[in-house]
Structure 1
Amino acid sequence: MKRFKLHTALGLFLTGTGVPVVAIAQTSVTDAGSATASSLSEDIIVTAQKDRQTLQRTPAAITAIQSTEIVTRGITDLVSVQNFVPSARIQAQGASVEVYIRGIGTTNDFANTEPPVAFAINGVYVPREAMSTPFFDIDQIEILPGPQGTLYGRSAIGGIVNVTLKRPTHEWETQAIGEVGNYGLFHGTLVQNIPVSDNFALRAGVDYTNRNGYQKSGASAADDLAGRLSALYTPTENFSAYVWGFLTRKRGTATNLVNKGFNPVTGQVDGKSFLHNDPWDDTLTGPLLEPYTALFGPVKSFPVDYDGLSVGAQFDLTLGDVTISAIPAYTSVDSKINYFLGSLFAVYNAKIKAYSNELRASGDSGRMKWQAGVNVYRQVNSDVTGIPPIFINYNYRNRSKGVGIYAQATYSITDEFRITGGGRYSSDSRTGRGVTAQAAFDYSSNAPWTADVKSNHLDWKVGLEYDATDKVLLYATVQSGYQPATYNSTPDTDSFDNRVDSSTIIAYTAGFKSRMFDNKLTLNSEFFYYDYKNLPLQGYDPDLLFNPIFNSQKVEIYGNQTDIIFRPTRNDNLSASIGYLHARQTEAIVPSSPFFGKAAGLDVSGLQMMNAPTWTITASYSHDFQLSRGYVRAFVGTRYESDFYGSYTHGIGSRQKAYFMSDANLTYHDEQGGWSLGAWIKNIENEAVQSALGLGGTPGPAITFLQAPRTYGLRATFDF
């Protein structure tokens, strides 16, 4: 039977603001957009903990964004999730994305480093270089703070971001999105679902974005095409086979890093200054800057050559109370990117091939829910990086492989009281080889290097849950996590050990989730304390011949996240999220080695961790104006972040001042819920907010990517 459903979106839409994702996820809004008191009691299902649970009954501060919100709030990639997640920074870095959750993240994207926050699609780990894939036809985005050592192991010491794609259904569906805006934006999405038979369905989609560059040179333009195909086969009630794959092709222009911290008018260092009144002006013009242009040439834009492929599957077999799942996956990336670091020309080429497979069993025997599994992975990175003609850093090949065996169970001691226990044994290895220049402008100084490091670790988790009432959940959890050891891409000598030790964390969390006043008010709060040892610190500094990593001795992180949703009427929705984060490098001294340049021997103990603002406050309000045929939804939201640093040394130019960033929308939805038409605007203040940042460069003292400037446009959606 063909389903005929129209859905359109009209809105003056300010997205990118910090509407608390938890708040978004904890209400169930009908397609017509009007939520009743009864609908507010319906909870969405989250799967980030590899189990289907309602969000309000999950003992963790999961942030979840559902498909409708993904479209209407303009979430088109991982970076655009930034403003919806409390105490988090999600920021672009070339073809990669940096994710910091509660202060835990990393700034470099070279082959010898892995992000401490894992990114997964349908529960499958995806390498950092594939994190910039476009988001479309998404069912849900879930962000779970770390550590998640028991269930995920590798690269989840800081948390997990899991994107769930929409599966094929047994109904005919045609969905389309059309969008135009400033900077010559055109964005279109087309999705078709085909019920081939009663037990077999296909789903195909294509997404295309084209826009001019945000930067004066023409850099940071988009010409991105992505296609996806998935199939679902359910021959019996006890077996299902879900297979998916997508291609991503990017042919826009790479984003240049702009200079920060030098005032070209006075010729003096000034941490707040950009080179031009327009911070997105990446050119080097003016008397004081002409010597740099004469030496290195004019700043210009370079085309991106990026191709990505991801394929995966999930096979589920149910035998009585036990379900056995097999989840194989493969990802490849071939990326060639040239860009400017201020006035310096840089190259970043990367080829990645990643394989993984997980075999999992889970069951529910009434009193006890459990799961156990084994995960194996292998990843090969081949890349060439450098800043010719100053120096060259070749990472010819990096191989990562490992195996993890885990188990976790929740036992109901009474109907109201539950206890959870789990553990995971991980064995990981990293090998690499390459060449690193030992002196600037001197290719004869290139020195070959090799590295071979191994690490093993046992993670564990203990948690308690108590249903104080049918609408109040209390919980407390203690769990561990670890990041595998790695290496520095330079020779191992008597004076410098290129091994970087594994890092470990023990996290204590306690909180509550509640609903009150006939479900009109949702109030959730979580307190956390992290004891973090051997945090790998790595500052991106183009003045150095390579970017050395070292282990800080100790890090202390604690804070609170409180999320509030209030719906006083069926037409009004107020939400807010307050994140307090104390993240400090309590013991951290840069090694006294020439490899660390001017930072060698520097004591950075007690400094605020990079990209970890103390306060993150988001607030939003929406109102539905009911019409005789359909309704109009007005939305406005804002996000506040206190000041923070993009460098662990707090170098000049690395400080981002406190800021507000606001978005808004005004959207008409027809009464059938089948189409909408709207206008949106993002970053109303046109605030220049730094993204991934590095120290050094010319003239320096810092260089940074920037978040997008003010953008606006129109959007129409259709759902047949």
Structure 2
Amino acid sequence: MGSSKFVRGASLIAIAGAFAAVPPAYAQGQAGVEAQSGQDGSSGGLEEIVVTAQKRSENAQKVAATVTVVNAEALVAGGVTDLRGVASFLPMTNLSQENVVTQAFIRGIGQTSDAETNDPAVATNIDGVYQSRYTLSGSMFDIERVEVLAGPQGTLYGRNAAGGAINITTKLPQFTPGGEARFEIGNYNRFHGFGAINVPLSQQVALRGAVDYLRHDGYLSNGQNAKDNLAARLTALIEPDSDLTIVLRGEYQHTGGDGDGIVLRPLLKKSDPWFQPEIPGEDFYVHRKVYKGNAEIKYQVGGPANLSVTYIPAYTYYDLSYRSPIGYNQRYYPNPGVAGNPLTGFAGALENLGDTGRQLTNELRLAGDTGRLNFVLGLFQFRQSAHGPGVSFEIYNPGVFSGGSFRPYSFASGGPQNDLNVVTNSKAIFGQATYAVTDALRFTVGGRYSWDKRHADGVSQGLVPIANIALPPIVYDLRLSDNRFDWKVGVEADVAPHSMAYATVQTGYIGSGFNITSNAAASTFKPETLTAYTVGLKNSLFGNSLRLNLEAFYYDYRQLQVSAYNSASGSALLYNVPKSEIYGLQVDTTWKAGPNTTFTANLGYLHATIKRGVLPPGAVYTCGVPGAIPAELCNGNSLIDYSGFTLPNAPRWSGSTSVTQIFPLASGAAIEARGSMNFESKSWGLFSHLEGLDKPAFAKIDASLTYRSSDERWALGLWVRNLTNNARYVTPTTTNVYGLNTWFIDAPRTAGMKAELSF
């Protein structure tokens, strides 16, 4: 089980704990922690962070797990407008673009495929509602906080939460009238406007309405990466009496623009990573509409166990269409008419029209707290149905790339039209309890039993780009089911007045799925399973002016699901890699260095490798096959052994740091200066480590300067993001096809002005 590595990590915890009383030269800590009066009553300490990570409100320093919290102020100061922006605050976390969805990885656990026939490894919940990956790429606005938990979370959260959980909480209405507004302008014709208003209708009913609009021109030279997004939410808070609380929410989102563009590596212009040539006559776009409705009904039963019952029903509908490029390449598939067999030019488009989906979830919880024992018991139900034509390809042969644009091209072949219907059902019973043996010693046990079913039917056609022809259509009708029990055991102890140590063992899984290629049983892939071992130490020191939290972890990861292009089927298939190993250390620190100076930072060390992994002979990785890996790279073997390869999106080092400095003025106003940096070492976009699929080391620096009025009713500021104009390649678009190295890329340097108003 890699116990020696786990012991090594535990030793690091012990060493760090021994030096916990020594102030660091700089701080590593949780992002977005506001420095105010301390929880211990001391003036000038750090504000207590209240989280609901364990389905109850509690001090984050009392949670026996790493809970990274990003509050509303940090999200606004960092210019975060979508889920992907949260990753700037988090170590060992990748939240990035993959076509029209957001790809989530935490500590090396994630999923590179975005098909409805498989599941993400990280559960994202908004106001307690599990979210489909197809609804997460829109605007994120009017947020109270974001909590990120690493490792299996099935005993409390969602389905398939083996990699972790991202819990987003939106703002509730207030029973006093008021509101807020923000406006932002910047380069690339950027305009961002946000407004929210609280309207108390009575002493029992209050409303909050919020609207967010964002637009900007494309960051790529061909105009792609442009956005035109509109979102609105209406929330009602009803409190008939002190025991009953009802929250009703309705939300609409529209995502427009021309989608997120891609770039080729090696770069077509080394001096400009955001350069991409135009394809004459092409019109790339994305249109996504999402409608959400949910409720949260909580009744305080009371009694000796202080019982409460919570019910959360939710419904989501989405309608999606998009057209995006799949690449511009000069050596994609062999061309017999050219010496050395590279294509003299390649371009293409990927189209998905008419995708629609519906999601219904219900969660019922019973919680209690006797003083010695606190517990949560729950029932969970999830149903999602998705329908669409699948993915269609158009392949072009534009001729030799020259002079910044493709020469006039000829249409080579149209990709096949598919008809896909996927229905996923999941049910679970879960629970977790913590018992205090003494005032300083507590034990936790938890469990979850899941029933997962998936059914897919329709017609599918693969495409063989080597010949630019469509394969014969396949009619399929596939069904799968998984039953799984996951568990958690843990112990925590107060080792000093403001220090807690803990150790936990817990399991998680990600459901099985199938490849839409045939009715054969071989088209299915197995569930992933994970056993996670963690030890940690949480400290509040020097009158609560310094927080130092550490966690070491070891993951035994089985049956990793990896996506690889199969030239025989003309589509990407998922395979299982038998065993992988992940271990590392996370350090979080927040330090209030003075009355007006706060440092935050966090640091992660991650070692994530495949221990045993050889793909089946039918995969594209068979060496020497045209379109696969050249034989000279295989060292004479017919198959490549991936043992020792680093898992995707698992940089060895990653983290973030920030400093906030307040300059009080004689008038009572203040100037706030803020600088932040997030960074990561080299990693890989896909497990295969093919040429061009590496992610270079990266550092991103943001800064802002804000004037705040004496009554804190308004503010004006300047901001710059990605100050050094570094190019960050976030997600490769290919599923391990040798020679096709196209990537989604983050924004270049942007800058602008902002205005804030509260009333």
Code of the aligned partner of 1:323: S
- Pick the aligned partner of 2:591 from 566, 570, 581: 566
* 2:439 partner letter: D
Deviations 1:99-157 (A, max 9, x none): 11000111221221221001110011010010112111111111111211211252211
- Counterpart CA distance in 2 for 1:138 and 1:431 is 35
Candidates 384, 387, 394, aligned match of 2:393? 387
For 2:679, the equivalent position in structure 1 comes to 640
Q: Which residue of structure 1 aligns with residue 458 of structure 2? A: 434
Contact residue 45 and residue 543 of structure 2 kept, 8 A: no
Cα distance in 2 for residues equivalent to 1:497 and 1:693: 27
Contact 2:94 2:104 in 1 (8 A): yes
Aligned to 1:329: 314
**Alignment partner of 1:555 is 2:555:** no
Which residue pairs with 1:282 in the alignment?
Answer: 276
Deviation at 1:546, TM superposition (A): 1.3
What corresponds to 1:313 in structure 2? 295
Taking structure 1 as the reference length, the TM-score comes to: 0.90
User: What amino acid does structure 1 have at the position aligned with 2:599?
Assistant: L
Distance 1:552 1:567 in 2: 46
State the percentage of identical aligned residues. 33
Q: Counterpart in 1 of 2:145? A: 140
1:492 alignment partner in structure 2: 519
CA contact 1:411–1:418 (8 Å) conserved in 2: yes
> Quick check: 139-148 or 535-544, which moved more?
535-544
1:297-336 CA distances to partner (integer Å, 9 max, x unpaired)? 5384423221011111111111111101110011111110
Residue number in structure 2 paired with 1:346: 350
- Residue 699 of structure 1 deviates from its aligned partner by 10
- Equivalent runs, 1:344-493 vs 2, <5 Å: 344-349=348-353, 350-383=355-388, 384-388=390-394, 389=413, 391-392=415-416, 394=418, 396-438=420-462, 440=464, 441-443=468-470, 445-493=472-520
What is aligned with 1:7?
Answer: none
Q: Which moved more, 1:437-446 or 1:477-486?
A: 437-446
Shift of residue 390, structure 1, vs aligned partner: 5.5
Cα 1:193–1:136 shift into 2, 3 Å: same
Who is 1:589 aligned against?
614
Q: CA separation in 2, counterparts of 1:176 and 1:649? A: 47
Instruction: Give the Å deviation of 1:618.
Output: 2.1
Q: Which moved more, 1:343-352 or 1:224-233?
A: 343-352
Residues 531-553 of structure 1: CA deviation (Å, up to 9, x unaligned): 01011111479997211101110
Structure-to-structure mapping, 1:217-236, within 5 angstroms: 217-236=222-241
One-letter identity of the residue aligned with 2:247: Y
- Structure 2 partner of 1:48: 53
User: One-letter code of the match for 1:434?
Assistant: G
8 Å Cα contact 1:696-1:702 kept in structure 2: no
Could you say if the C-alpha distance between residues 41 and 281 of structure 1 is closer, same or farther in structure 2, counting changes exceeding 3 Å? Answer: closer
Distance 1:668 1:539, change over 3 A: farther
Distance 1:698 1:301 in 2: 25
Judged with a 3 Å threshold, the aligned counterparts in structure 2 of structure 1 residues 201 and 528 are, in CA distance, closer, same or farther, namely same
Contact kept, 8 Å, 2:118 with 2:511, in 1: the verdict is no
Instruction: Output the CA distance in 2 between the equivalents of 1:654 and 1:455.
Output: 33
Give 1:84 shift.
0.6
The answer for the alignment partner of 2:127 in structure 1 is 122
Assess, with a 3 A threshold, how the Cα gap between structure 1 residues 526 and 201 changes in structure 2: closer, same or farther. same
Contact residue 652 and residue 681 of structure 2 kept, 8 A: yes
Q: 1:431 to 1:415 in 2, by over 3 A?
A: same
Q: CA deviation at 1:617?
A: 3.2
1:603 aligns with 2:603: no
Aligned residue number for residue 653 of structure 2: 615
CA offsets, 1:394-423, max 9 Å, x none?
Answer: 351111001100111000100111111011
Matched-pair contact (CA < 8 Å) for 2:447–2:488: yes
Distance across 1 between alignment mates of 2:384 and 2:735: 31
Out of 319-328 and 627-636, give the one that drifted further: 627-636
Q: Which has the higher contact order (CA 8 A, sep 6+)?
A: 1
Moved more, 500-509 or 697-706: 697-706
Q: What SS is found at the alignment partner of 2:572?
A: coil
Match of 1:675 among 711, 714, 736: 714
Letter in 2 for 1:452: R
Q: Deviations over 1:515-566 (max 9, x none)?
A: 2122222111000000010111114799972111011100100000001222
Change (3 A) 1:361 1:425: same
Distance 1:326 1:274, change over 3 A: same
Could you tell which deviates more after superposition, 623-632 or 597-606? 597-606
Moved over 6 A (4+): 540-544, 696-699
SS at match of 1:534: strand
Query: How many angstroms apart in 2 are the aligned matches of 1:256 and 1:697?
Result: 19
Residue 502 of structure 1: aligned partner: 527
Tell me the number of residue pairs that the alignment of Structure 1 and Structure 2 aligns.
Answer: 674
8 Å CA contact 1:230–1:244 kept in 2: the answer is yes
Amino acid at match of 1:644: S
* Contact 1:107-1:539 at 8 Å conserved across structures: no
- Does residue 650 (structure 1) correspond to residue 689 (structure 2)? The answer is yes
- Bigger drift between 622-631 and 551-560 goes to 622-631
Does the 8 A contact of 1:316 with 1:325 survive in 2? yes
Which region of structure 1 is more displaced relative to structure 2, 653-662 or 688-697?
Answer: 688-697
> What residue identity is the alignment partner of 1:328?
P
Matched to 1:602, the amino acid is I
2 CA distance for matches of 1:698 and 1:62?
Answer: 37
1:258 is the counterpart of 2:263: yes
Q: Is the 8 A contact 2:75 2:86 kept in 1?
A: no
**Alignment deviations for residues 631-688 of structure 1 (CA, whole Å, 9 cap, x no partner):** 1111222222110111110111111111221111111112222211111111112111
Rate the CA distance shift 1:714–1:26 in 2: closer, same or farther, 3 A: closer
Structure 1: distance between partners of 2:578 and 2:419: 27
Of residues 724, 749, 755, the one that matches 1:710 is: 749
In the alignment, residue 598 of structure 1 is paired with which amino acid?
A: A
DSSP 3-state at the match of 1:83: helix
Q: CA offset at residue 598 of structure 1?
A: 2.3
String of CA shifts for 1:351-375, please: whole Å, max 9, x gaps: 1111000111001111100110100
Q: Does the 8 A contact of 1:536 with 1:549 survive in 2?
A: yes
Residue 70 (structure 1) aligns with: 75
**8 A contact 1:475–1:512 mirrored in 2:** yes
In structure 2, runs of 5+ residues without a counterpart are 1-25, 328-346, 395-412, 622-626, 630-637
User: What secondary structure sits across from 1:567 in the alignment?
Assistant: strand
Amino acid in the other structure paired with 2:526: D
SS of the residue corresponding to residue 110 of structure 2 reads coil
Rounded to whole Å, the distance in 1 between the matches of 2:218 and 2:737 is: 23
Query: Which residue of structure 2 lines up, in the alignment, with residue 287 of structure 1?
Result: none
Which segments of 5 or more consecutive residues in structure 1 lack a partner in the other structure?
1-18, 262-272, 285-296
The 3-state SS of whatever aligns with 1:148 is: coil
Distance in 2 (CA, whole Å) between partners of 1:206 and 1:556 is 44
